[in-house]
Structure 1
Amino acid sequence: MVALDTMPAPAEVPAPPTLAFDRYYNAASDFIDRHLTEERGDKTAVIDDAGTYTYRDLAERVNRAGNAFRALGLKPETRILMIMLDGIDFPAVYWGAMKAGFVPVPVNTLLPAHNYQHMIGDSRAQVVVVSEALLPSVEPALANQPCLDHVIVAGSTGAGRPRLADLLAAAAPDLEAAPTTSDDVAFWLYSSGSTGAPKGVRHLHRNLRATSDLYAVPVLGIGEDDVIFSAAKLFFAYGLGNGMTFPFAVGATAVYMAERPTPPAVMRVLREHQPTIYCGVPTLYAAILADESNDRSKASARLRRCISAGEALPEDVGKRWEARFGAEILDGVGSTEMLHIFLSNQPGSVRYGTSGKPVPGYEARLVDEHGTEVSDFGELHIKGPSAADGYWNQRDKSLMTFVGPWTVTGDKYTRDADGYYHYCGRADDMIKVSGNWVSPFEVESALIEHPKVLEAAVIPHDDGDGLIKPKAYVVLKDGVEADGDLEIELKSFVKSKVAPWKYPRWIEFMDTLPKTATGKLQRFKLREMDQG
């Protein structure tokens, strides 16, 4: 147990800055080149599995990447698809493409070939940069792509294709930034696919600075002396902000890990690199806590702040983490469409079990099924300066999601008297039982409080008479055996935590739950399985 009286006193969150951009603005010049003019060239920018790199090293790699892409004869706004593991090559390609006036498109590294085939074709990418370890799973997607001209491999051998290292070595170390505007599309991200097929989300050069100036600095409190480690990968909007936008906005240090973020791997990085800020997802926080031996003494003695997003953080998980690791978790909610967190708990005023309040600079509203604004329960809409420009080639979905200055999140929330937002579930995940709405997340949170439960997911299930009731899928902790007595025990436990009509009438035990690679629960897959 860590003494929490050593935690810093609650800080007053300052008013959001006024965001103003020159007409001609290139985000790479701002986030990369500025550190050289501000004399941070010798400061460590990135630590990855292979070594340590200063801001001067990073800037040179970015310039070489941009020149290498220009040498391919690419035209402005050409899409460059990135299927890359976290490491120094990722920011070099991402910022280098952007600085040269091209559009990097980082994508999930854990997908099957048919998803890559879709993304390459959908984006009309002329270049694919792929980590060598991922090439075997990507290779089948490269055939019959009429727009694809170049496949570049980041790795030691290249597997018979051009090596990124050779292209960087041959390219000039200086690069003049393309004359992009603040409203030009800077990069794409593909939505996680938690509710269907991934969509290309177009973000502008100005969007990156909005997330750092409105969230990272005033809420997260990141500064030049921080070392930040994000278990969420760089291809994910949440991880991209944590691992690149935020540290590079202030001259901090980012730690990258190429392998999957298992609890042992994360604990190793926390111990070896002693980060001050750790960014995780609820599933991973719970999995680390499942090992009773994991605590601050085996992690980072410098850890001062943690954040969570991707899914709502159960109250019990947040409280146990703070008690064991001595750092509160600022749980928040963001989206690919808004680029990063727009609702968040604040340092010193965390209420676990909530998503906090709107980040200063963003506005939130709740609306009912008729589009009328309501005060207590409804679908969450967000207005803020990091909103995407829209979906690529998805006109109808863009119109449904980006409504004037508001972005429709598809999440159902309640707002309490103190202004804190409580997550209920996706709009299409809510369950109506005996005329009352039931939040899957509320029931899942109750189940997770049981000492034998690791994870839970709740969906609607027909009882055979045409009536809908909650059904739970449960993953137990290691060493716990599933049986009928445990099912009865869990049902009774949930009844003691929530209103009686909300308890799951059926419980099915599983080894794992379906999730996206970013950790989001895919309840729709459970519904499909239940109906199939």
Structure 2
Amino acid sequence: MSGNENAAVYFVDRHISEGRADKVAFREADGARRSLTYGQLAEETARFGGALLRHGVRREERIAMIVRDQIEFPVVFWGAMKAGAIPVPLNTLLSAPVYEAILSDSRASILVVSEQLWETVKPAIADNTALRAVLVIGDAPEGTESYTTFTKGAEPIETVDAHGDELAFWLYSSGSTGTPKGVRHVHSSLKATADTFGAQVLGIREDDTVFSVAKMFFAYGLGNAMSFPMSVGATTVIFGGRPTPDGVFEIMAREKPSVFCGVPTLFAAVVAEQEAKGDAPDHAIRISTSAGEALPREIGERWEKLWGCEIIDGVGSTEMLHIFLSNRPGDIAYGTSGRAVPGYEVRLVDEHDEDVPEGEVGELLVRGPSSAEGYWNRRHKSQSTFEGHWTRTGDKYERDAEGRYIYCGRTDDMFKVSGIWVSPFEVEQALIEFPGVLEAAVVARRDDEDLVKPAAFIVMKEGATAPDGQALKDFVKDKIGMWKYPRWVSFVEELPKTATGKIQRFKLRDSA
């Protein structure tokens, strides 16, 4: 092994020797609006690592994190890694039973939790026998320890030696189709995503300020807010609250981020709000990214017209850590996921794993340097997802004549009408082009003759009147084809989604 390949050396320690000790690494946009320089980050991560060792934490023990986006998040994440422990960031929007299941599954020995989340987390740990300490960031209730007290007086440590292929951290999948799975990643994967998408597609720079509304607890947000800016010594604006259009406008005007990372749901809401305002947005954004769900073409076009900057829409996964298929600056085709990110290869295959020709729908397979080591305690699922160098994404795509990839839906969301594949996403894209429609989701439903047909769930823009269902049906027929129109149209207040913004279509199928 050549040198220490612990990811914390590259992303944290390196900046001190390269002269960035006084550069702000993280700045909070809410609460006390605290900030953390690269020098402070290096010191505090070394101290947190020392506190873990002082508490008897051994190498590869799991450190569970139910931590909002705040400056303690990077300290705990990188500090655990410096000590050779395994940080496990968890979704901060889960329920107590799900936390209970994940904490039991991971067998974490230390739990770090933000004060605001304690009441939800408390019942989840009542019967947990693996946890040796619960650290609360803020006021520590009885039976827990203050994060500040835990780290006070601890001796800073040197970053432990680690191999690039050694386990570094876990992420739990978003659970859009069921129970979250523990996805295990190695040290080299973080730099791999920074060297590929971060450097060669996003073009992240040291003078950038990044604002990601996608939270750091999941793969997309972890890259946006941590590994990409930290790979070049840039600054990240972090926001612990729930993003709303007005809140986003305020942060953009005050913090002046140059890179904005969102999800399609938020882009749609921000565009609708800005169009209602009618004035030009106050911002300094040079580029935006979108992932989590495919970005509808109309939303991308309206955003670029209003904001004067492109959205790089791409697809990634928890299993691949970040985006591996993407549009890129100056080569945007809204309504597509672009082409493979440099360093990655993709294939489209049929049910027999044979490559499908151009224009036909197939399952997307990917290989590249950031694929996960496997799932924790899910051997059968690991074997069916990670097939040698290739990872099955569970996404259906088609490739056009220009080599761009067009999203069709999840493998289990696709269905046939009159023997022809229907992409829920294609129907949804057509529906949101209808005046007044904010969001749409399409699922399969059986009619009176037990034949599968599309059913649509529609969310209208605020103040917009729901149209006649037949008008929507006719609109879709004219746009994309006679057989693809929704046979049933339901208007709802909101669509069920994961914390990462993915529509939970299985819930809609259950109600369809």
Tell me if TM exceeds 0.5. Answer: yes
Q: Aligned equivalents of 1:88 and 1:293: distance in 2?
A: 34
Counterpart mapping for 1:90-129 below 5 A: 90-129=73-112
Q: Aligned equivalents of 2:432 and 2:168: distance in 1?
A: 40
Note if 1:315 corresponds to 2:297: yes
| Contact 2:280/2:306 (<8 A) preserved | no
- SS at structure 1 position matched to 2:480: coil
Deviations 1:269-303 (A, max 9, x none): 11110000000000000011111245884341x21
Provide structure 2 residue ranges, at least 5 long, that are not aligned to the other structure.
none
- SS at structure 2 position matched to 1:373: coil
Match of 2:20 in 1: 40
Q: Aligned equivalents of 1:225 and 1:206: distance in 2?
A: 25
Aligned partner of 2:216 among 206, 230, 234: 234
| Contact 1:296/1:326 (<8 A) preserved | no
Match of 1:177 in 2: 159
Equivalent residue pairs, number: 505
- SS at structure 2 position matched to 1:254: strand
Counterpart mapping for 1:63-102 below 5 A: 63-102=46-85
| Contact 1:185/1:204 (<8 A) preserved | yes
Q: How many angstroms does 1:166 deviate by?
A: 2.1
Q: How many angstroms does 1:24 deviate by?
A: 4.2
Note if 1:438 corresponds to 2:418: no
Match of 1:365 in 2: 347
Q: TM-score, normalised by structure 2?
A: 0.97
In angstroms, what is the RMSD of aligned CA positions?
A: 1.2
Match of 1:488 in 2: 470
Q: TM-score, normalised by structure 1?
A: 0.93
Deviations 1:130-180 (A, max 9, x none): 00000000000011111111100011x2123211122223223x3211122
Q: How many angstroms does 1:52 deviate by?
A: 2.1
Note if 1:210 corresponds to 2:199: no
Counterpart mapping for 1:277-356 below 5 A: 277-291=259-273, 292-293=275-276, 297-300=280-283, 302-356=284-338
Note if 1:392 corresponds to 2:372: no
Q: How many angstroms does 1:71 deviate by?
A: 1.2
Counterpart mapping for 1:408-447 below 5 A: 408-447=392-431
The sequence identity of aligned pairs, in percent, is 55
Note if 1:167 corresponds to 2:150: yes
2:426 maps to a residue whose letter is E
| Contact 2:49/2:80 (<8 A) preserved | yes
- SS at structure 1 position matched to 2:119: helix
1:263 maps to a residue whose letter is P
Aligned partner of 1:452 among 411, 436, 440: 436
Deviations 1:64-96 (A, max 9, x none): 111111111011000010000001000000000
Deviations 1:313-364 (A, max 9, x none): 0000000000000110000000000000000001101000000000010000
| Contact 1:296/1:324 (<8 A) preserved | no
Q: Aligned equivalents of 2:2 and 2:444: distance in 1?
A: 51
CA distance 1:296–1:520, change in 2 (3 Å): farther
Q: Aligned equivalents of 2:233 and 2:442: distance in 1?
A: 43
2:287 maps to a residue whose letter is R
CA distance 1:444–1:372, change in 2 (3 Å): same
- Which is worse superposed, 246-255 or 49-58? 49-58
Match of 1:28 in 2: 8
Q: Aligned equivalents of 2:282 and 2:480: distance in 1?
A: 35
- Which is worse superposed, 65-74 or 108-117? 65-74
Q: Aligned equivalents of 1:252 and 1:162: distance in 2?
A: 33
